[in-house]
A = this chain, B = another copy of it.
Amino acid sequence: MTAVLDQLAQPDDAEVAGLDAWWRASNYLTVGQIYLQGNPLLREPLTAEHIKPRLLGHWGTSPGLSFVYAHVSRLIRLTGQQAIYLAGPGHGGPALVAAGYLEGTYSEIYPKVSQDEPGMLRLFRQFSSPGGIPSHVSVTTPGSIHEGGELGYVLVHAFGSVMDNPDLLTIAVVGDGEAETGPLEGSWKGISFINPEHDGAVLPILHLNGAKIAGPTVLARKDPAEVRRLLEGHGYEIIEVGGDELPGMHHRFAEALASAWGKIRAIQTAAREGGWDGRRPRWPLIILRTPKGWTGPQTVDGVTVGGTWRAHQVPLSGVRDNADHLRMLEEWLRSYRPEELFDATGAPTALVRDLAPAGDLRMSASPHANGGRLTRDLDLPDFRDYAVEVKRPASGRAESTRRLGELMRDIYTRNPDRFRLFCPDETNSNRLGAVFEVSDRAFMETVGPDDVKLSRAGRVMEVLSEHNCHGWLEGYTLTGRHGMFATYEAFAMVSASQTIQHGKWLQEASHLPWRAKVPSLNILLTSTAWRNDHNGFSHQGPGLIQNVLTQRGDVARVYLPPDANTLLSVADHCFRSRSYINLIVIDKQPQLQFLDMDQAIEHCARGAGVWEWAGTDDGTGDPDIVLACAGDVVTMETVAAARILMERLPAMRTRVVNVVDLMTLPRPKDHPHGMSETLFRELFTDNVDVVFAFHGYPGAIHQLVHGRPDADRFRVRGFIEQGTTTTPFDMTVRNRASRYHLVMDAINNARRLPSGATELKAWCEAQLVKHESYVVEHLEDMPEVRDWSLGDWAQS
């Protein structure tokens, strides 16, 4: 250990030459990607024809990213450490592509981009070009589990990747632009949840190059002592390296990296072999200060470019038309001495190649960054064992999510190395607390005698940050493990952009055969808009459904199980699935139970079906009205409405259709789950009006049924942004989705009206007036509130 640390810290001249050669090669390829469409090896003088017609890409951060990559590669080669590399400054796409190319991975995956002159030309041309690859680190980049683009998530991905992954070291480069975002600032605290016994390590490298797109950054311009204090305050031990002179920077960074790795190994060894006091380690963190656009043009047209925001994208513009810029570009490219780096065929020379580790240890080839390769199915208990007994539909109540908690408890037990629940401090509140029978909450800060189910051994992840929870789960699944993010429905919007970006990742990955499918991102929304009895309007918003609907059909899944047994069936399906966003929406409060387990399984397999027991439709001919529903509370209201109609207007033929898989509604051409038109007509008829009670915003149903036979006949009730602290029943009244509204809708739209309909409408209106006056009088008279928990479900 000491010997290898010494060697790491003190590279000899040959090693420095190797590091520098690899770095120069990577920089050369980066500049080539931005500028060249011909003459890739500079075998002839550079001319305008060799320059791309449009210059796109980001130079500024790239040399720093490559510099770090080179040094980590050497560390891996010398130590055998398994590592992956997450580039927070995702704009450095060409640097990471260059790294994969130099390591040979790129050509293995994309044979046309071969390690020779034609391949190099292809590498250059494809960059940021139609039909080619994006300019950011992306799904197409081997070795990446982190898309460059929306900033802020590099540390959450990194921490997620090392949970239950004890042998992995994740290098997370944080750009100083990204460091200004809220999600990033909120993610330094990951070390308060990482246990060196069973987790791997994250080495954050805060790469301060001073500027973002158009100006300096806060961290780059703060007193360095303040930056150090800030990160020490987060709990890190700071190692600082800065400058631009060579080879000095190689020596100093090698020493810094060796020091950091030595500390990490010491922490892990103590934790795993004895000698740890159990307190949160002070993990190392490197602050690296190098100029933006390091090794690039310093001054262009008399203006300082190097080290400023002007180096962010393309430092030399108009190269085709400006002979001076063309000359500068050629000098710049030749400054890397490509003739030393690539042989006659265009392949990297031994000087370059020898730096990199071999096989799966290459960061661009690490199976950890292609997590599907490491994914093992969950050992799942039989979900039927957790069933709620339902002897008669709608006769009993249960907290549905409690059963899911019990299922997850046993998943924890059976899969101690590959399953975690992520939740912003609401596991118990969401009735999932059974998991605490077998695992504590993870916590590395001080634990006191009054704390409950909280320890460093814990593996249930609670932190009051949707960004952390969501991002950790992303990192966990992208490295091949399984989990669920459970959160209050309204606050799922906090991390909605992460849901969307992860969906984009999965969509793109589905087109790349070399990317093995990973466990799905399972999101459970509880504490829903309809049942926030004691919280206000801010807690009422079913918006995430709306956003998942916009994702492509190969990724987006939305389930609205109405009760416990359907939830169990859906959850089992989701835990087995791969590479989806599975959104499951169900409330946590005691709720009516409708289906026994066999019925639930059949219902979920179909995704939608007629509930004969709830309606009066005898199956001969069309009903007078279809009452459809998706979502727990609105399903109860629909069943109650059908009951009212059955009792008070028995001659009206009603059919109740429940939808558990929302994606059965669109046409098959719009979503793979879309039911056939035949089935759609069987459920919803050809032209009978449908009163549809929906959990979310009504517009979602309108857009989903577009193109279905006579879609205009769907009258949708749902959440229309009416909320406050009130009873669940009052919520349905405020949003015009109560049983009484549904009965009136049914009467207003039925094909055929039996006598008595007018009277029934009047009765419904009277019920609503009664409710209204009850609410108004409530403050004067405060009676027992019979419907706080929806009381007798058919109290009407």
A529, chain B: closest CB distance, angstroms: 11
A214 in complex: contacting residue of B134, B428, B784, CB < 8 Å: B428
What is the 8 Å Cβ interface bit string for chain A, positions 472-496, against chain B (1 contact, 0 not)? 0000000000000000001101101
Chain B nearest CB from A766 CB (Å) reads 19
The answer to whether A547 has its CB under 8 Å from any CB of chain B is yes
- A236 → chain B closest CB, angstroms: 10
A232-B221 in contact given A128-B725, A182-B187, A212-B464 (Cβ < 8 Å): no
Chain B residues with Cβ below 8 Å from A128 are 534, 725
The reply on A213 being an interface residue by CB < 8 A is: yes
Tell me if A395 is interfacial: C-beta within 8 Å of chain B.
no
Query: Are B186 and A721 interface neighbours, CB within 8 A?
Result: no
Per the bound structure, the CA–CA distance linking A543 and B53 in Å amounts to: 32
Verify if A248 is at the interface (C-beta below 8 Å from B). Answer: no
CB proximity of A718 to chain B, nearest CB, Å: 10
Option from B152, B454, B500, B537 in Cβ contact (under 8 Å) with A138: B537
A52 sits at the interface (CB 8 A): yes
Q: Is A758 an interface residue (CB 8 A)?
A: no
Residue on B nearest A178 in the bound complex, by CB: B464
Q: Are B230 and A233 in contact (CB under 8 A)?
A: yes
Q: Closest chain B residue to A183 by CB distance?
A: B182
> Cβ of A443: which chain B residues have Cβ within 8 Å of it?
215-216, 221
How many A residues touch the partner, as a band? 35 or more
Q: Could you mark each residue 414-448 of chain A with 1 if its beta carbon is under 8 Å from any beta carbon of chain B, else 0?
A: 00000000000111110000000000010101111
- CA A720 to CA B152, docked complex, whole Å: 25
- With A427-B214, A464-B178, A552-B721 known to touch, is A222 a contact of B445 (CB < 8 Å)? yes
Q: How many monomers of this protein are in the complex?
A: 2
Does residue A710 face the partner (Cβ distance < 8 Å to B)? yes
Chain A interface mostly:
loop
Q: Determine if B454 and A53 form an interchain contact, defined as CB atoms under 8 angstroms apart.
A: no
Closest beta carbon of chain B to A228's beta carbon, Å:
7
The reply to whether B494 and A725 form a contact with Cβ atoms under 8 Å apart is: no
B552 touches A216 (CB 8 A): no
Chain B residues with Cβ below 8 Å from A501 are 538
Known: A54-B788, A233-B228, A496-B496. A180 touches B541 (CB 8 A): no
On whether A491 and B150 interact (CB within 8 A), knowing A464-B217, A536-B138, A782-B37, the answer reads yes
**A34 to nearest B CB, angstroms?**
10
**Which residue of chain B lies nearest to A151 when distances are taken between CB atoms in the complex?**
B464
Docked-complex contact A535 and B214, CB < 8 angstroms: no
CB distance B135 to A490 under 8 Å? no
Query: Is A450's CB within 8 Å of the partner chain B?
Result: yes
Q: Is A226 an interface residue (CB 8 A)?
A: yes
- Please, which residue of chain B has its CB at the minimum distance from the CB of A779? B125
Contacts of A537 in B (CB 8 A): 134, 138, 149, 504, 508
Whether B547 and A132, one on each chain, are in contact in the complex, defined by CB atoms closer than 8 angstroms, is no
- Top 6 nearest A-B pairs (CB, nearest first) are A230-B233, A149-B538, A182-B186, A134-B536, A699-B703, A229-B233
Q: Can you report 27 A-B residue pairs in the complex whose CB atoms are below 8 A from each other? A: A93-B536, A128-B534, A129-B779, A130-B726, A131-B776, A138-B536, A148-B536, A150-B490, A152-B182, A177-B425, A177-B464, A182-B186, A182-B467, A185-B186, A212-B464, A215-B454, A216-B445, A221-B445, A222-B446, A229-B232, A230-B232, A504-B538, A546-B547, A547-B547, A699-B703, A711-B711, A711-B712
Given contacts A494-B497, A702-B703, 13 further A-B contacts (CB under 8 A): A37-B782, A56-B533, A125-B782, A129-B782, A136-B538, A150-B494, A182-B465, A183-B183, A218-B445, A221-B447, A493-B496, A504-B537, A508-B537
Which of A's residues lie within 8 Å of B, judged by CB? 37, 52-54, 56-57, 90, 93, 122, 125-126, 128-136, 138, 147-152, 177-178, 180-189, 192, 212-218, 221-222, 226-235, 304, 307-308, 425-429, 441, 443, 445-448, 450-452, 454, 462-468, 490-491, 493-494, 496-497, 500-501, 504, 507-508, 533-539, 541, 543, 546-547, 549-552, 697-700, 702-704, 706-707, 710-712, 720-721, 724-727, 730, 775-776, 778-779, 782, 784-785, 788
